Every structure is written in C-alpha cells, then in structure tokens.
C-alpha cells in the first residue's frame, strides 16, 4: 500500500468477505485507503448452496464510514464501475452477480461514473421503481408490462447504494408519491433501508414505500431463477408489487 500509484484490488466472493469484516473496518476504511473490493457472486448463487449466497454485503458494507458501494446493471456498467473504482482514491466496493452478462454492447473504452449519481431509465407518474444491480432489468420488464395496462411506472437504476442520489430520489418520490425499492440483498439494513433513511433525513413525507428483497431467513439451495421467484424479486414479483401499490 505504500507504493505510489499502486491500487490494491481485492477480488473475492461476497460471502467470503464476511470473514474479513474487521480488516475492512480497521485496515482499510478507518485509514481511508484506496482499496477496491470486487465482489463476485453478490446475491443468489444457485448451485453453490446456502453458505455461498452473497445476500448480506449491501447491508454490512454501507454501514462502514468512508466506504462507497455500487452495483452495475450489466457488463458495460461493470466495466465503467471498475474503472471508476480504480480512480476513486478511497475504499470502494463493486458488487456483481454470479452468471453471464446481459449481452449489451460494451464501450471500447471504460469511462468514469460520477460518484453517487443514479440513472433515470424510464419516466413515470404513477410509481417509481428504484432498483439496484441485477434487479434493474427485471424492473424494466415489469415497467413495460405495467405500461401495457395503462400504469406509468418509472425506473431508476440507482447504481450507488452509498452514497445515494439524494436529489433524484427525493425529487421523484415527492412527485410520484409511491416508491418501490428492489434489491437482491437482505431487507434488513440494505438498499431499501438506505432509501428510507434518505427520505427521513430530507423530511420527505406523504409517500408510500415498499421494499422488495430477501426476508429475514437463510436462503436454501435452488437455481437463481427459482430463488428470485420465491422471494418475489423477479419480473413477475416486481410487476405484482408495483401494480398492487398503484391500485391501493
């Protein structure tokens, strides 16, 4: 770490990083060192089983001061986030799922992403779906189904779990009044909790918020698709939750 210009990159399974929590806090974040944590297998892992599900990282990382936490929606954004992480100059984590990419075109050269800047993918007036990482594309598919039924659902690719894009999230929530957060992480202390904390901090009132994520239980063995369906964070689950919020 003392070598000038050297940026350490820790490439590790999300579940394995749990064993090094003290080192993350004291050896990296307390000293504000420029360490990049590349977290593979964030979310459900399917065939690897209950011990390997990386469903706690958004919660345990966002609690640490000086840490930046982000998750890409696809392989192109992953490329840009890794580049951004190396240029960041402090503790930063990039969390991505097990499996193949979406299949989007990849930029010839990686580019910087402004820290804490979310991306409005779809405008909507009936409900806002704020998704992170692997949940962005299922949210887009759900929004399309809702549009076909006359429901205007906006979709925000939050990109950063810490720091959140306060301006975009608070402005949209104040306008739309109904917010659905979606994450492939435990609900306790995760992305949805961060959004609720943000609204409280900025005094946003008169809105309805529902969080989709993983319940307070250990996740059993099944395929990734089966687990997302079981926990209501696949396209169908997001669609049904958003539709119910609008109808209520």
Mean pLDDT of the chain: 95
Confidence of residue 5 (pLDDT cuts 50, 70, 90): low
User: What pLDDT is attached to residue 38?
Assistant: 98
Sign of CA dihedral 65, 115, 140, 106: negative
Asked whether residue 122 carries a pLDDT value surpassing 50, the answer given is yes
pLDDT of 39 reads 97
User: Which pLDDT tens digit goes with each residue over 186-210?
Assistant: 999 999 999 999 999 999 999 999 9
- SS3 label, residue 19: helix
Decide if pLDDT at 3 tops 80.
no
Cα dihedral sign, 21-26-30-31? negative
Cα distance between residue 40 and residue 54, in whole Å: 8
């Amino acid at each position: 770490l003392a070598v000038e210009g050297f940026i350490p990159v820790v490439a590790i399974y999300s579940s394995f990083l749990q064993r090094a929590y003290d080192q993350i806090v004291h050896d990296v974040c307390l000293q504000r060192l420029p360490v990049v944590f590349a977290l593979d297998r964030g979310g459900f892992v399917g065939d690897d089983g209950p011990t390997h599900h990386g469903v706690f990282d958004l919660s345990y990382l966002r609690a640490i001061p000086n840490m930046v936490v982000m998750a890409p929606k696809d392989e192109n954004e992953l490329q840009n986030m890794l580049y951004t992480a190396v240029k960041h100059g402090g503790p930063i984590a990039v969390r991505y799922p097990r499996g193949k990419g979406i299949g989007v075109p990849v930029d010839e050269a990686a580019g910087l992403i402004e820290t804490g800047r979310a991306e409005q993918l779809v405008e909507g007036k009936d409900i806002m779906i704020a998704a992170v990482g692997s949940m962005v594309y299922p949210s887009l598919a759900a929004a399309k189904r809702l549009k076909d039924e006359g429901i205007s659902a906006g979709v925000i690719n939050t990109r950063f779990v810490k720091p959140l894009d306060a301006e975009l999230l608070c402005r949209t929530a104040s306008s739309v009044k109904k917010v659905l957060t979606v994450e492939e992480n435990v609900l306790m202390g995760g992305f949805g909790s961060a959004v609720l904390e943000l609204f409280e901090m900025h005094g946003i009132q008169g809105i309805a918020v529902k969080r989709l994520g993983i319940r307070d239980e250990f996740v059993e063995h099944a395929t990734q698709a089966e687990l997302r369906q079981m926990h209501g964070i696949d396209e169908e689950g997001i669609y049904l939750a958003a539709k119910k919020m609008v109808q209520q």
